[in-house]
Amino acid sequence: MVKFEARNITKNYQHEKYQVEALGGINLKVNEGDFVCIVGPSGCGKSTFLRIAAGLENPDEGQILFAGKQVTGTGPERIMVFQEGALFPWLKVSDNVEFGLKIAGVPKEKRSEISSRYLDMMQLTKFADSYTYQLSTGMKQRVAIARALAMDPDVLLMDEPFAALDAQTRDLLLVEMQLIWEKTKKTILFVTHNVAEAVVLGNKVVLFSNRPGVVKKEFSIDASRPRLLEDESLLKFQQQILAELRPEVRKTSR
């Protein structure tokens, strides 16, 4: 069943005197429970596409459909995890996780129950009363994921959430992310510039072309889980994707 669909999404930016065509008509269908990784050359509009999917920006043309119905603006069924986490420094970790629930008017008792469940899942229980500056980058991203999961969205939108992590922390989170996906059965759209990361996480990888971004090709990654970055079975997928990605990256440097 198609859970999320983008139909002919275009987006242009006025950049001082000239116009930048960021997205040139994105068509994408995501089935319920899919883990879709979006890769593409930098500046291809993949993050813009994710913001449009979240309803944080409006497309110039085209529609976003959720469960077959067009949606505009933000909604609790599509929740985003930002690159730098975007955790609120004025709130404790547990209050960060409860933020969306508080906005929605969920009573305090229910909120703490939900937040402690997700903090437990992310192994953060000890840090519930910490402030965000006391956390490492990896822990911050775990909190950001817990905060998104606490909203119980149908679609999780992740914008290069592991880009700022050191290699070892990223390695851990790549495994954790697969376990979370299996446990929660969420539909996930995950933007990354890292092909190795994409083939570890996704059961599908979508390749965006150079600007203006369109979907150049989709790949199915049929390999057993949990996967690791160094798995040999993933190499052929990486090679296939990189072969298509390189010409696009070359275009950006011309």
- Cα 144 to Cα 62, 87, 140, 151: the distances in Å are 30, 7, 6, 11
- Cα 74 to Cα 63, 78, 81, 86: the distances in Å are 13, 7, 14, 17
Complex with other proteins: residue 68 or 89, whichever CB lies closer: 89
| Shortest distance in whole angstroms from residue 23 CB to other proteins | 18
| Shortest distance in whole angstroms from residue 49 CB to other proteins | 15
Strands 215-220 and 61-66: unpaired
Complex with other proteins: residue 67 or 106, whichever CB lies closer: 106
Amino acid identity for residue 193 in this structure: H
| Shortest distance in whole angstroms from residue 207 CB to other proteins | 26
Complex with other proteins: residue 80 or 245, whichever CB lies closer: 80
| Shortest distance in whole angstroms from residue 76 CB to other proteins | 6
Query: What CA–CA distance (Å, rounded) separates 77 from 79?
Result: 6
CB burial of 28-54 (b: ≥16 within 10 Å; e: otherwise) equals bebeebbbbbbbbbeebbbbbbbbbbb
Binding site for other proteins (CB under 8 A): 51, 54-56, 74, 76, 78-80, 82, 84, 86, 88-91, 99-100, 102-104, 131-134, 147, 151
| Shortest distance in whole angstroms from residue 101 CB to other proteins | 9
Complex with other proteins: residue 121 or 150, whichever CB lies closer: 150
The Cα angle at residue 148 between residues 22 and 81, in degrees rounded to 5: 30
Complex with other proteins: residue 151 or 205, whichever CB lies closer: 151
Residue for token pair 């909604």: 75
Q: Quick check: 127 and 189 in contact, CB under 8 A?
A: no
